[in-house]
Amino acid sequence: MHGIHEYLHSKLPECVNVEEGAGGLPLLHVRNRYAECSIYAYGAHVVSFKPHGERDLLWLSPYSRFSEGAPIRGGIPLCFPWFGKHRTRDDLPLHGFVRTRFWNLESAEVLADGRTKIVFFVENRGPTSEARPYRFRLELSTIVGETLEMALTVQNLEHLPIICEEGFHTYFKVEDPRRCEVIGLDGIEYIDRVQGDSRATQRGAGYFEGETVRAFMHVPPVLELLDLGHRRIHIEQVHMNSAVLWNPGEKAAAENPEIRDTWKQFVCVESANCLDCQLEIPALGYHRSVLRLSAVNFDEQKQGQECSKGALG
């Protein structure tokens, strides 16, 4: 069990505090001039990102268990070395096993522009098994500013290529999933996991209606989530070629003890390399994926447009 004291012994800048989080799990809290961000060492799991003056971009379930062996429900879980179900074994956990491991804190620093950078890592250097078939090192760099920037580096420690999947399983806080749209997916092929992995091409914006599990392949680097009437969330993916839209809908949520009646509070737009876009990392090579998130409230956007009109007038 990793305790809070192990992280207190690390040299941390003044803007980073270590707290005892839910379930007694160590929690790093960043507060700088741009934003606040909370990261559990368990899973290197970002659970909150609040630019100053704005509400949280991320949703966290009030029913999450916060106990070892169980993933945290909400925020930004990290998926590796597979995404979703394991392709051949139903007994293995969804989305791999790194989200239920304690990660090591490598560094915490203030950058020249005042943003804060936190780096965690986890390794699998021991004996391999069918469930953990290769040796690897993962590093997650999280930079907290007006934009939340997360870079996940997968290092192959084997002398042979490895095939894997990865992803940021991001839960966005919204007013109503049924009034959300994802811009940038028009004309993109998707795999419908609810409809027996049937394939179709998206026409217009992506949307959430009932139980939605749609894995889009070969997506553009920029998507936008519109929480209609409230805000626009900018999603930038670098070296990530798929995106999954997910919300359980009312019926499936009622059967999930960690979601239940809260399904109306979030949507997931998951940035990934999965299915058709799985990774092949060369011997002793690496792959680095980057996710950048920022938001503009519609009220702020409207005020800015009005100011611009006034200046032009």
| pLDDT at residue 311 in the model | 46
- 173-201 pLDDT tens trace: 999 999 999 999 999 999 999 999 999 99
Asked which of 7-16, 131-140, 247-256, 274-283 is least confident by mean pLDDT, the reply is: 7-16
| pLDDT at residue 87 in the model | 86
| pLDDT at residue 88 in the model | 87
| pLDDT at residue 39 in the model | 98
Q: pLDDT band for 129, please (50, 70, 90 cuts).
A: confident
134 has a pLDDT exceeding 70:
yes
Q: Return the CATH fold of 4-312.
A: Beta-galactosidase; Chain A, domain 5 (2.70.98)
241 has a pLDDT exceeding 80:
yes
Q: Which two tokens stand for residue 149?
A: 């920037």
Q: In percent, how much of the chain has pLDDT > 90?
A: 85
The CB-side HSE value for 193 (13 A sphere, CA atoms) comes to 18
pTM of the model: 0.93
Q: pLDDT band for 300, please (50, 70, 90 cuts).
A: low
Residue type, 91: D
Q: How would you label 188-201 residue by residue, b for 16+ Cβ within 10 Å and e otherwise?
A: bebbebeeeeeeee
Q: List C-alpha distances in Å: 12 to 18, 30, 105, 106, 109.
A: 9, 10, 10, 11, 7
| pLDDT at residue 135 in the model | 97
- Phi and psi (nearest 5°) for 214? -120, 120
Residue type, 25: L
Mean pLDDT, the chain, as a whole number? 93
User: DSSP characters for 17-72?
Assistant: EEEE-GGG-EEEEEE-SSEEEEEETBTTEEEEEEETTS--SB-B-TT----TTS--
| pLDDT at residue 3 in the model | 62
For the chain, the structural domain boundaries read: 4-312
238 forms bridges with which residues in the sheet? Answer: 290
